[in-house]
Amino acid sequence: MVSRSVGGKMLAQIGIKVLDRIRCGVLFMATVVCLVASASYAADIEEEFPGRGLYPLVPVIELEDLQNQFNDVVVVDVRSQYEFETLRVKGAVNIPLSSPTFVEQMGKLRTNDARPIVVYCNGKTCMKSYKAALKCSVNKIDNVLAFDAGIMDWARSYPENAVLLGRSPVDPNKLISQEEFKKHLLSPDQYGEQVATSSAIVLDVRDRFQREGLSLFVGRERRAYLDDTKTLERYIDKAKRENKTLLVHDAAGKQVRWLQYYLKDKGLSDFYFMEGGTSAYYEQMKKEFIR
């Protein structure tokens, strides 16, 4: 017969083992939950910032961190000069990624300033900031971070540190949403029909390299470079004076979004852009030809 004290010890040991197993089970479940939550968070981040998955070696800086370190970094806008002049981070330097002297200019910037360099572009689906940071790394220009939230999130969150059409602070109500931009888009077919059936003023704002000497609407379109404000103003004034619609197309349907700020600032409301630009127009023609 087992004594009461020995039986108590056995029961206690069994209880400890049971508790240990329960604890192990709880820890295991907690670990699983943490792993699932981490995977879910990582998936959400990658969905919001698709470039982070494509450029995993590029270091990034978050929105609030950039604001907190704003005076301790050098901010570089790697977009075109026209985009930079339209909306930018206050105090930023413009060194377009497309410039043939990009590496040289970034190298000089690093030589003259030891602070971290933060490069940015339009937003979360724009890859220029990643490409710029990677290009710097490949060319031994160190401590370059990508601010991949982009200019739109920055201007909405910190309007006092943003510049819109030369004015700061930025009025968040004047930032053009994607929905508002879409209201002024016409499909290539709709755009072509408007050109053919209306008295609209048609502007080709592609640069010299993008045009490649080809006109979409021979005899109807006029040409104006985005940085040629005098020519743009002339056609805007003509559209307003003659009460005509202004139709504008670029190469890929992206630059016109920044032109919209300028058109609205000049008081023009009757204007439309070709969705997807001339690239979409040629693609449509190709499909119709093959069919």
Residue 53, domain member (yes or no): no
Domain containing residue 235: 178-290
Is pTM beyond 0.75? Reply is yes
| Long-range CB pairs of 203-211, under 8 A, 24+ apart, other chains included | 203/232, 203/235, 203/246, 203/247, 203/248, 203/249, 204/249, 205/248, 205/249, 205/250, 205/255, 205/256, 205/259, 206/249, 206/250, 206/251, 206/277, 206/278, 207/251, 210/250, 210/251, 210/278
pLDDT value, residue 288: 74
In this structure, the answer to whether residues 225 and 249 fall within a common structural domain is: yes
In this structure, the answer to whether residues 188 and 122 fall within a common structural domain is: no
Q: Look at the chain and report how many structural domains it folds into.
A: 3
In this structure, the answer to whether residues 118 and 182 fall within a common structural domain is: no
Q: Where does a domain end: 141, 170, 199?
A: 170
pLDDT value, residue 230: 94
Residue 55, domain member (yes or no): no
Residues of the chain with pLDDT below 70 are 1-46, 209-213, 291
In this structure, the answer to whether residues 70 and 135 fall within a common structural domain is: yes
Residue 54, domain member (yes or no): no
Q: Where does a domain end: 149, 170, 191?
A: 170
